[in-house]
């Protein structure tokens, strides 16, 4: 099946907005077995949108457009596509009601302009948008005037705002695809997420053992983020389920506790889940991550059940005042040291009366390094009722990457302890 994606929006061409739809939709579609073969971004001008849609209609079985369904004069996708396919637009009373309700819920009358969002090309399927006013649209070009032999294509138009597009895709487009454009072969895909092991080590450990399954049709892919490597396992056909589950078992055996989750699991969510199951609590004391660990933890719904609080203690004075780090320790060993990390974690645990406390102190750079403690040096401490452990890490990356990797490592140390 040929699948293409057209992202519209002049803001994309100006570099004002990052084209996250490209990545998000390609990822979702690939994991469902619909791999996008071509993607273009075009400005909101009639000529560009028309040309890109016409070209896609000549090639693809399934075409997605994003953006341009709003009420303003630069929102012309709906109009242009209806025009290209020679379909009349008619106002859908049910959509007008939905839009009125949307505004009533915000105590505002519906601006007349928004009425255009209720226009539906003849024969199109309306995709509800509970988070916004513009519904998505799905229609089949049948016969397709732009394709050899008039072969049909499906066109799916999605709204621009990510918070509207994503749930619409998951809730309405996925079921619709299964219905109108089912895959010819069964497709199975699983992603195992690892942390604490570099991409090449992950590959070294599993490439060999998976060789036979790759021969049998396993698609094996790696995706490295900062401090995290995802292993994607996919297969098509009748034996897909068997191939992927055998592969997952091999990856689990080879990588063991480096695997923290599957699919879209996030490390911080796993840690919150572990603590919730044990009814235990956590506090954090952060120097070089500047609150990044607390930020991640509080992204997780339900974090309040286990996460008590955090201290961002950047100066020596703050480390002494809020965490009880001793003056002598700081003077003798320096703020970036095993002992200071230890006293920070113990101080945070004492002050918040938590079961666990994590502390981090390090040199993010670009300045401040010494021969003994170069930029990238970091100490991570974990205090609990069973004592305190400290790990020394080396993350010589740029400042933001350093913070991200360090926060991840700290959470991972806690995860590993909770597993043991
Ligand atoms: P609206 O009703 O908000 O006008 P729309 O369907 O007309 O919605 P656009 O006007 O094209 O969509 O885009 C609305 C906003 O959505 C943009 O300003 C931008 O912030 C965001 N957006 C659009 N396209 C993308 C994209 N490809 N990636 C990420 N964000 C996007
Ligand atoms: Mg718009």
Q: Which of 118, 129, 111 is nearest to 89 (CA)?
A: 118
Average pLDDT of the segment spanning 167-180: 97
Pocket test for ligand 1, best of 8, 160, 163 (most atoms within 8 A of CB): 160
Q: What does the DSSP assignment read for 195-252?
A: ESS-HHHHHHHHHHHHHHHHHTT-EEEEEEETTEEEEEEEEESTTHHHHHHHHHHHHH
What pTM was estimated for this model as a whole?
Answer: 0.85
pLDDT digit string, tens, across residues 263-309:
999 999 999 999 999 999 999 999 999 999 999 999 999 999 999 99
β-strand pairing of 136-141 with 153-158:
antiparallel
Ligand nearest to the CA of 20: 1
Cβ-Cβ contacts under 8 Å for 317 (sequence gap 6 or more): none
Q: Do the Cβ atoms of 406 and 359 come closer than 8 Å?
A: no
Query: How far is the C-alpha of 7 from the C-alpha of 94, rounded, in Å?
Result: 28
Cβ-Cβ contacts under 8 Å for 350 (sequence gap 6 or more): 324
Ligand nearest to the CA of 11: 1
Q: Do the Cβ atoms of 63 and 57 come closer than 8 Å?
A: yes
Residue 217 burial by Cβ neighbours in a 10 Å radius (0-12, 13-18, 19+) = middle
β-strand pairing of 228-236 with 89-91:
unpaired
Pocket test for ligand 1, best of 9, 45, 158 (most atoms within 8 A of CB): 9
Q: What does the DSSP assignment read for 346-414?
A: HHHHHHHT-SEEEEEEE--SSS---SSS-TTEEEEEEEETTEEEEEEEE--S-HHHHHHHHHHHHHHHH
What's the 159 CA to ligand 1 centre distance in angstroms?
Answer: 7
Closest atom of ligand 1 relative to the 7 alpha carbon: 27
Q: Is the pLDDT of residue 74 over 90?
A: no
What's the 161 CA to ligand 1 centre distance in angstroms?
Answer: 4
Q: Is the pLDDT of residue 73 over 90?
A: no
Ligand nearest to the CA of 111: 1
Closest atom of ligand 1 relative to the 72 alpha carbon: 4
Closest atom of ligand 1 relative to the 159 alpha carbon: 6
As for ligand 1, residues whose beta carbon falls within 6 Å of it are 7, 9, 11-12, 17, 19-21, 66-70, 72, 75, 134, 159-162
Pocket test for ligand 1, best of 49, 116, 157, 161 (most atoms within 8 A of CB): 161
**Which residue in the block uniquely carries the two structure tokens 């009722």?**
385
The conformation of residue 172, written as its DSSP 8-state character, comes to I
pLDDT digit string, tens, across residues 105-127:
999 999 999 999 999 999 999 99
pLDDT digit string, tens, across residues 185-238:
999 999 999 999 999 999 999 999 999 999 999 999 999 988 899 999 999 999
55-89 burial string, b = 16+ CB within 10 Å, else e?
bbbeebbbbbbbbbbbbeeebbbbbbbbebbebeb
Q: Do the Cβ atoms of 378 and 336 come closer than 8 Å?
A: yes
What's the 304 CA to ligand 1 centre distance in angstroms?
Answer: 33
Distances 250 to 212, 213, 218, 240, 242 between C-alpha atoms, Å: 11, 10, 13, 15, 12
Closest atom of ligand 1 relative to the 165 alpha carbon: 6
Predicted local confidence at residue 269, as pLDDT = 98
Q: Whose CA is nearest to atom 1 of ligand 1?
A: 70
pLDDT digit string, tens, across residues 397-415:
999 999 999 999 999 999 9
Q: What does the DSSP assignment read for 255-289?
A: HGGGEEEETT--HHHHHHHHHHHHT--EEEEESTT
Closest atom of ligand 1 relative to the 9 alpha carbon: 11
Q: Is the pLDDT of residue 72 over 90?
A: no
Going 217 to 222 to 223 to 228, the CA torsion angle's sign is positive
């Amino acid at each position: 099946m040929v699948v293409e994606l057209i992202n519209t929006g002049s803001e994309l061409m100006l570099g004002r907005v990052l084209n996250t739809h490209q990545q998000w939709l390609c990822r979702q579609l690939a994991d469902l077995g619909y791999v996008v073969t071509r993607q273009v971004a075009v400005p909101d001008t009639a000529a560009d949108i028309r040309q890109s849609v016409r070209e896609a209609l000549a090639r693809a079985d399934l075409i997605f457009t994003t953006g341009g369904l709003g009420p303003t004069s630069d929102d012309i996708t709906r109009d242009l596509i209806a025009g290209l396919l020679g379909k009349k637009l008619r106002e859908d009373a049910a959509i007008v009601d939905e839009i009125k309700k949307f505004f009533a819920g915000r105590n505002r009358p519906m601006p007349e302009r928004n009425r255009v969002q209720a226009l539906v090309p003849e024969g199109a399927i309306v995709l509800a948008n509970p988070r916004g006013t513009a519904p998505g649209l799905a229609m089949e070009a049948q016969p397709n005037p732009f394709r050899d032999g008039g072969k049909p294509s499906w066109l799916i138009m999605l709204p621009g705002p990510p918070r509207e597009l994503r749930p619409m895709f998951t809730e309405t487009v996925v079921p619709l695809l299964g219905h109108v454009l089912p895959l010819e072969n069964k497709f199975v895909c699983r992603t195992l997420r690892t942390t604490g092991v570099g991409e090449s080590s992950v590959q070294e450990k599993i490439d060999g053992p998976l060789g036979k399954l790759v021969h049998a049709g396993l698609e094996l892919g790696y995706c490295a983020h900062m401090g995290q490597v995802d292993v994607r396992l996919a297969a098509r056909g009748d034996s897909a389920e068997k191939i992927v589950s055998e592969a997952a078992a091999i990856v689990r055996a080879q990588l063991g506790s480096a695997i923290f989750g599957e699919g879209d699991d996030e490390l911080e969510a796993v840690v919150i889940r572990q603590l919730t199951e044990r009814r235990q609590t956590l506090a954090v004391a952060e120097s070089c991550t500047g609150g990044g660990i607390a930020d991640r933890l509080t992204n997780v719904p339900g974090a309040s059940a286990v996460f008590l609080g955090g201290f961002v203690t950047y100066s020596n004075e703050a480390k002494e005042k809020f965490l009880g780090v001793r003056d002598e320790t700081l003077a003798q060993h320096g703020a970036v040291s095993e002992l200071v990390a230890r006293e920070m974690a113990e101080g945070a645990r004492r002050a918040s009366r938590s079961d666990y406390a994590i502390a981090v102190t390090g040199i993010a750079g670009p300045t401040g390094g010494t021969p003994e403690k170069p930029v990238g040096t970091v100490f991570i401490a974990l205090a609990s009722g069973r004592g305190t452990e400290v790990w020394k890490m080396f993350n010589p990356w740029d400042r933001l990457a350093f913070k991200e990797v360090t926060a991840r490592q700290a959470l991972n140390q806690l995860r590993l302890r909770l597993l043991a």
